[in-house]
Amino acid sequence: MEKIRGSLSENGKKMFDDIVSQRVLGASTHIRMIGDMFLDLAEEGKKRSADVKTLKEEIGALAAFFIETRGKASCAVTNGIHEMLAGMSGLETMEMDQAEKAINNAVSAYREKTRENLEKIVEYAARFSKNMKKILVFDYSSTVNAFLEAKEGADIEVFIPESRSINGGAAFARTTAAKGIRTHFIPDAAMMYYLRQCDGAFCGAETALPDGTAYNTTGSEMAALVCKTLGVPFYVLTPMMKIDGRGLYGYHREAVVNDLKSRFASVGLTEEEMEKIDFSCPELLPIPAEYITGFITELGIIPAAGFYAAAAGYLKQLEGGKE
């Protein structure tokens, strides 16, 4: 890890550390930062007159690291990295100036595509929720955050659980406060009480499966279950690129378990006591399709029960229309 990190500038190292330490959250944000690190490697390589072969190896090592780490939790990270790398094919035949331009073009093309998709998702979600007066949003997602930024303060009241396992709610609260939206920042344990007042609930997804299951931060499945119990619509905002189709071919997801010891350092336990306690917790858990009302994607609002057809069509398109 240190060798990969060492090739980056100081700003690049900060981005690297922000992802690894989870100081910055959200798969879409992480993909953008990885793209920035690709650009950083190209710039740094040019400064030190590195050869293109070395630059390609550094980009490959950085990509492999985040596919192996962050990509285990979010297929979108893997898909996004591969899409950017596809635009960098043939680097080894180029001069450094050409290679730097090719890397910039690959990252820019990917970002333009994702920007257009995000605009569609936000447009559909904002239009759909126009008549909702009170909503709950759970766990940080850059897609859901963009949706909140599109809301007008006078039109809506937002309930934000803390999402304590990764402190995922605070970033939403900053957005809604800045927008002048009436905001309630609540303990996770109070979700059921406040959801009774809500017209709908929204979260993002780290990964979506063709069967209509969504994987998201621990606690999301609890929010969805409560919504199902209370009859509150629960929607997942996600670009189709977050679909993981590997399960169709027998792949089983491995649970990613985090040690939350540092997260609970402020609860009053002594260091000696904490050494005797297990603070492990899954990073992501599945939200079953039966808890999800629908997925809001760039293709439109798709009922969870009908997600397979849309997902299969999208995966076929990614594979170039192969049978």
Q: Residue 92: which residues within 8 A CB-CB, separation 6 or more?
A: 52, 53, 56
For the chain, give percent helix, strand, coil, nearest 5.
55, 15, 30
Predicted local confidence at residue 319, as pLDDT: 61
- Together in a domain, 104 and 182: no
Burial group, residue 228, by CB count within 10 angstroms (0-12, 13-18, 19+): middle
Residue 223 parent element (H or E): helix 220-230
The answer on 140 and 113 residing in a single domain is no
Query: pTM for the whole thing?
Result: 0.77
Nearest to 37 by CA among 69, 81, 75: 81
Strands (E), the chain: 134-138, 157-161, 182-186, 200-203, 207-208, 214-217, 234-237, 257-259, 280-282, 284-287, 294-297, 300-303
pLDDT at 199: 98
CATH of the domain at 207: 3.40.50.10470
Sheet holding 300-303, edge to edge: 182-186, 157-161, 134-138, 200-203, 234-237, 294-297, 300-303
- Between the alpha carbon of residue 144 and those of residues 29, 84, 203, 279, the distances in Å are 12, 24, 6, 29
What is the predicted pLDDT for the residue at 220? 95
pLDDT for 308: 96
Cβ–Cβ < 8 Å for 6, 17: no
Containing structural domain, residue 141: 129-318
State which of 117, 138, 170 marks the end of a domain.
117
SS3 of residue 237 by DSSP: strand
Looking at residue 221, its pLDDT comes to: 96
What are the residue ranges in the chain where pLDDT is below 70?
153-154, 318-323
**CB-based burial, 79-116: b 16+ in 10 Å, e otherwise:** bbbebbbeebeebeebebeebbebbbebbeebeeebee
* CATH number, domain with residue 60: 1.20.120
So what's the pLDDT on residue 158? 96
Indicate the angle between helix axes 75-86 and 27-47, nearest 10 degrees.
40
pLDDT value, residue 151: 85
Let me know if residue 122 belongs to a domain: no
pLDDT at 5: 92
Answer yes or no: do 91 and 147 share one domain. Answer: no
Model pLDDT, residue 154: 65
Is 123 within a domain? Answer: no
144 plus 237 within the same structural domain: yes
Domain termination residue (choose one: 117, 152, 179): 117
Residue 89 lies in a domain: yes
Dihedral angle computed from the Cα positions of residues 122, 124, 126 and 132, in that order, rounded to the nearest 10 degrees? -140
If asked whether residues 171 and 286 sit together in one domain, one would say yes
Could you tell me if residue 321 is left (phi over 0), alpha (psi between -120 and 50 degrees) or otherwise beta? left
The pLDDT value recorded for residue 317 is: 72
Q: Cα(17)–Cα(32) distance, rounded to whole angstroms?
A: 14
Task: Determine the pLDDT at residue 323.
Answer: 36
- Beta-carbon contacts of residue 176 (< 8 Å; ≥ 6 apart): 148, 158, 160, 183
